[in-house]
């Protein structure tokens, strides 16, 4: 029997729209981890990293949503070795500009670990938040970008589905 090329698979999507109560964010993380365990190639071993990314982006979106819906779209494309997370919420002009500057500052630093460590050292210990985007970029190994339409902002996090093990001083994290 001749060798057959496997049929290309379609990307797998998860779409969710919710009103922003905090209580669901941890449950969404668990759901996304389970979803990714089914949707991702076993070799990718990315479930916890992608669940972390969704969790952090949802934690950022909910308090800035002005009690309107928050949308989550997760696309897993095993054939293209790509994954994209997009979280959309209502925002003011000032919130958008602050987020735009934060992501631009982060992307100016080519070393994701260095940026993460800088953010940890400069974030006040008494203030909650401020590290989520840096965590997504470093720990989830996803690049971040931003778009805006009609008073709503979307944070995009995308990268390889089969990402290499993290290299950290003193070891590696898979």
Q: Is the pLDDT of residue 72 over 60?
A: yes
Max alpha carbon distance in the chain (Å)? 66
Please report which confidence band the pLDDT of residue 42 belongs to, taking 50, 70 and 90 as the band edges.
Answer: low
Bridge partners, residue 148, by sequence: 153
Q: What pLDDT does 6 receive?
A: 65
Q: What pLDDT does 121 receive?
A: 86
Q: Is the pLDDT of residue 75 over 80?
A: yes
Looking at the domain that runs over 12-162, which CATH code has it been given?
3.30.565.10
Full-model pTM = 0.87
Please indicate whether residue 40 or residue 70 has the higher confidence score (pLDDT): 70
| pLDDT tens string 122-139 | 877 666 666 899 999 999
Domain edges within the chain: 12-162
DSSP structure string for 70-136: EEEEEEEETTTTEEEEEEEEE--HHHHHHHHHHHHHHHH-S-HHHHHHHHHHHS-TTS--S-HHHHH
Tokens describing residue 54: 């969704």
Average pLDDT of the residues in 114-126: 83
Please report which confidence band the pLDDT of residue 7 belongs to, taking 50, 70 and 90 as the band edges.
Answer: confident
Q: What pLDDT does 1 receive?
A: 56
Q: What pLDDT does 22 receive?
A: 74
Q: What pLDDT does 120 receive?
A: 87
């Amino acid at each position: 029997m001749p060798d057959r090329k496997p049929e290309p698979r379609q990307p797998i999507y998860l779409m969710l729209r919710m009103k922003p109560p905090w209580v669901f964010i941890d449950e969404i993380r668990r759901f996304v981890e389970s979803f990714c365990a089914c949707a991702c190639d076993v070799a990718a071993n990315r479930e916890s990293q992608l669940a972390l990314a969704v969790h952090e982006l949802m934690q950022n979106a909910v308090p800035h949503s002005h009690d309107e819906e928050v949308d989550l779209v997760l696309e897993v494309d095993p054939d293209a070795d790509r994954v994209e997370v997009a979280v959309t919420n209502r925002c003011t002009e000032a919130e958008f500009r602050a987020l735009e500057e934060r992501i631009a500052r982060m992307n100016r630093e080519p070393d994701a670990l260095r940026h993460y460590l800088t953010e940890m050292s400069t974030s006040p210990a008494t203030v909650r938040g401020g590290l989520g985007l840096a965590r997504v970029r470093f720990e989830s190994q996803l690049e971040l970008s931003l778009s805006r339409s009609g008073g709503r902002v979307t944070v995009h996090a995308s990268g390889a589905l089969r990402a290499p093990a993290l290299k950290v001083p003193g070891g590696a994290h898979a």
